[in-house]
Every structure is written in C-alpha cells, then in structure tokens.
C-alpha cells in the first residue's frame, strides 16, 4: 500500500480548471498519443476500447480515426475534462465518457479488447494494482497500450528547482524504464512492443515553458512531497530555467517516454 498517496481531489480540480485551454498547450501530449496509436499492430481490430485518463480526448480522437467502428469508453477523474469530451462528440454513437477514478474496482466487470493509457499513469496511487485491474478486463487476445512518462522527464525543471531552492524536485515520482514491463508479465500480459523516446517542446520563453505545466493542469498540487514556492523562489526558478533557452530565447520542456504494447494470452 502507498503510505503517501496522491490527493486525487486536488488533482481532479487542477485538470478540470485546465480543461478549456488544455489542447492549446498540450503539444507533447498530442504527439505522444499519436506515437502510441502508431505502434499498435496492423492486425489489431478491437471492438471495445477503454481510454484511461482520457482528458479532453487527444488519444480518443486518434483511436477513433484508427478504429472508426469500435465502441469507446473514456474515463477521467476530472469532471471538466469529461465535459469537453461529451461536448466534442455530442450525439456520436458508440461513445461513452465517465467521470471516475481508473483505480476503482467498479470497472472490473467491463470486457475490453484494448485498454489505452497515455500520460496518465503517473497519477495512479497503486500502478501495479491498477494494471492488474485493467488486464483482468481484457478478452483473450486483447491488448493494453501505454505511453508512460519516465524518470528523467523534465530535466530542465529538475535542475532549475535544485539550483533555486537547494533541494530536489520531488513532486512527480516517475518510474524507471525497467519497472512496468515485469508488472505486465506478472498480470498475464505478453509485451509485444517496448520502446523509449524523447519529445522536446519549445516555448517562446522560460516563463511560458514553466507556465505550460499549469495550463495543462499538471501543477503538482496533490503530489506527495510537493511544496509550493514563494515569490522569491519562483523568480530564482525562472532565472535558473532560463539558462536552458536557445539563442532566440526559446525554452524547452523535455519528456522521456516509454511505449508499451502488451497482449493477453489467447
């Protein structure tokens, strides 16, 4: 059991507040969703899909393009995100969106052919139990597709935070690349695809790069170890982050990703 769990209510509120402008700022998340769907096997034709942590539907849209005749159920803890999805696909048949926690055992009765999860597993309190829950919903031959943020993501923020506060940035705890594949094997999934990659998004300034986290709802409030910064610390953080800017003043945000596709034994 996690002795220092996430504050799910705070996280849901953060993302609900960001829902209306999420897509404008979520450039990396859109690329990551596209990369995940591209890695699904050409022989995959799921009829029942679940999108865990669907947000505003960046992954949902790409899954629907790839599998236009599938039934899809999007689940997200943030009511504001679900409201965006329902408005976007209002009247569309075979689509359902639910506000709820992907870690809730209430979902265990679902029967799925594809469970997809992009940039949302870092918000799980008990990732191994959640993996087991959703693996149990898969029909024989069904697949789980995950795009996971890895340890080493946001190195600019890590360095700038340490320089400006003299302490490590502990708010977001991410896995090493060797952690999740064995979990998949333990719950009866055979890993077909295991790839890592880096996505770097450039913003007009260090201030905008830092602001991008808040604009997508990832403000880290609710994460174990998170400590809010005072105005002086924020100014020092901004100055330190600015050292990563290029000659034109643009500043990066770097994501280290792992893409996993795993099949349930037939």
d(CA 186, CA 90): 39
- What percentage of the chain has pLDDT greater than the value 90? 80
Measured in whole angstroms, the distance separating CA 37 from the mean position of its chain's CA atoms is 14
Q: Mean pLDDT throughout 197-216?
A: 94
The C-alpha atoms of residue 96 and residue 75 are separated, in whole angstroms, by: 9
> What is the SS3 assignment for 65?
helix
Domain locations along the chain: 8-152+172-201+253-264
Q: What mean pLDDT comes out for the span 5-28?
A: 92
**8 A C-beta contact, residue 59 and residue 37:** yes
The first and second tokens of residue 189, run together, are 């999934």
* pLDDT band at residue 173 under the 50/70/90 scheme: confident
Classify each residue of 104-120 as buried b or exposed e, where b means 16 or more C-beta atoms within 10 Å of its C-beta: eeebeebebbbbbbbbb
The strand pairing partners of 258, in sequence order, are 148, 196
d(CA 65, CA 217): 26
pLDDT at 3 over 70: no
Q: Which residues pair with 51 in a beta bridge?
A: 74, 116
Residue appearing with tokens 């340490």: 162
pLDDT tens, position by position, 69-111: 999 999 999 999 999 999 999 989 999 999 999 999 999 999 9
Global confidence as pTM:
0.92
The terminus-to-terminus CA distance of the chain in angstroms comes to 31
> What is the predicted pLDDT for the residue at 227?
56
**Contact 134/107 with Cβ under 8 angstroms?**
yes
In the predicted model, what is the mean pLDDT of residues 213-227?
A: 69
pLDDT of residue 225: 54
Mean pLDDT of 116-142: 96
> How many whole angstroms separate alpha carbon 101 and alpha carbon 57?
16
Instruction: Please give the C-alpha separations between residue 21 and each of 107, 250, 266, in angstroms, as whole numbers.
Output: 29, 21, 42
Residue 83: both structure tokens together: 């409201």
Burial class (CB in 10 A: 0-12, 13-18, 19+), 178: exposed
What's the confidence (pLDDT) of residue 220? Answer: 59
- Percent of the chain exceeding pLDDT 70 equals 93
Of the options 3.40.50.150, 3.40.50.620, 1.10.540.10, 3.40.720.10, the CATH number for the domain spanning 8-152+172-201+253-264 = 3.40.50.150
pLDDT of residue 6: 79
Gap between the Cα atoms of 1 and 211, Å rounded: 33
* DSSP state for residue 265 in the 8-state scheme: -
């Amino acid at each position: 059991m996690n002795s220092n769990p996430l504050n799910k209510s705070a996280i849901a509120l953060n993302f609900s507040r960001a829902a209306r402008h999420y897509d404008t700022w979520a450039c990396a998340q859109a690329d990551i969703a596209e990369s995940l769907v591209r890695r699904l096997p050409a022989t995959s034709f799921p009829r029942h899909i679940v999108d865990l942590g669907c947000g505003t539907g960046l992954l949902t849209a790409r899954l629907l393009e790839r599998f236009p005749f599938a039934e899809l159920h999007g689940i997200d803890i943030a009511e504001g995100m679900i409201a965006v999805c329902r408005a976007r696909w209002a009247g569309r048949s075979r689509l359902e969106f639910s506000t709820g926690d992907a870690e809730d055992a209430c979902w265990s009765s679902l029967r799925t052919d594809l469970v997809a999860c992009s940039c949302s597993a870092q918000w799980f309190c008990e990732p191994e139990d959640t993996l087991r829950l959703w693996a149990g919903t898969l029909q024989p031959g069904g697949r789980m597709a995950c795009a996971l943020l890895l340890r080493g993501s946001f190195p600019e923020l890590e360095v700038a935070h340490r320089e400006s506060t003299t302490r490590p940035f502990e708010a977001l705890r991410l896995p090493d690349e060797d952690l999740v594949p064995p979990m998949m094997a333990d719950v009866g999934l055979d890993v077909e695809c295991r790839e890592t990659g880096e996505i770097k998004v450039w913003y007009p300034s260090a201030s905008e790069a830092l602001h991008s986290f808040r604009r997508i709802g990832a403000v880290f409030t609710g994460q174990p170890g998170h400590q809010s910064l005072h105005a002086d610390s924020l100014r020092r953080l901004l100055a330190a982050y600015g050292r990563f800017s290029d000659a034109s003043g643009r500043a990066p945000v770097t994501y280290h990703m792992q893409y996993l596709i795993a099949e349930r034994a037939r």
